[in-house]
Copies of this chain bind each other. A is one copy, B any other.
Amino acid sequence: MPDAADPAPMNAPSRRKFRREGEERRRQDLIDATLDSVAEHGLEGATVRTIALRAGVTAGLIRHYFPGKEDLLQEAYAALMGRMTEQAKAALLMEDASPRQRLAAFVTANLNAPIIDQRVFSLWATFIGRAGADPTLARAHREGYLGFRNEVEAVVAEVLAAERRKPDASELRHHAIAINAIIDGLWIEGCLAGEMFSPGELAAIGIKAIEAELGLAPEKQFQEK
């Protein structure tokens, strides 16, 4: 069998073969390659050459799609945040479920794969570490955080309303902050030391902690089936 994997052009100028991809496709590939590079080697290791190699193109092409490396990183971070919040909020969209069930589903979704994931955490930490120096990143985070917290606050209000309780705004805000902290904290623990917890354990801990925070009597109905 002749060597199929390597055409071995003996003396030709041997320029690399390539395919023209759609613009959106290439941009996505480059962004994905950027996130992979950052996750694996950090921001310092995410060079245009590394990224291009991973995307299967040469370095020069990056400048054809992005004004500069900084812009690529910016868009990569935006894409990451978009995917995270999108997945997180998706769990809240359950129709015909009690507020309490939806809250439990939300917590469960946030404390299991694919949200609990070391790679995503590495990316989050790497980017957020520069929020102190980069106002653009700081505001991007702030907006994502407030959006997330508002979602939590809305569900909490529904849950308490279903229990015939009428919390004032301050009380509601405090609950949302605390619940947000519980989810974030457990998320970090799970990402950094996932194998220390049995499957579903973090979600169970989170739900119990949140029920305690809200003063809900633990009900059995969520355990059967």
Contact = CB atoms under 8 A, between A and B. Distances in A.
Interface stretch (A50-58, A87-95, A128-136): A128-136
A174 B124 CA distance: 26
Q: Which of A122, A126, A181, A188 has the most CB of B within 10 A?
A: A181
Number of copies: 2
A177 B187 CA distance: 11
Interface residues of A, number: 47
A180 interface: yes
A163 interface: no
B178 A182 contact: yes
A208 interface: yes
A208 B29 CA distance: 47
Contacts of A208: 174, 178
Nearest to A138: B192
Contacts of A125: 125-126, 128-129
A202 to B, nearest CB: 8
A126 B128 CA distance: 8
A54 to B, nearest CB: 15
B130 A122 contact: yes
Nearest to A42: B130
Interface in A194-225: 197, 202, 205-206, 208-209, 212-213, 215
B132 A119 contact: yes
Interface string A148-191: 00000000000000000000000000100110111111101100
Interface of A: 39-44, 118-119, 121-126, 128-133, 138, 141-142, 145, 174, 177-178, 180-186, 188-189, 192-193, 197, 202, 205-206, 208-209, 212-213, 215
16 contacts: A42-B43, A42-B44, A42-B133, A122-B129, A131-B192, A142-B193, A177-B197, A177-B205, A178-B205, A178-B209, A180-B189, A181-B181, A184-B188, A212-B212, A212-B213, A212-B215
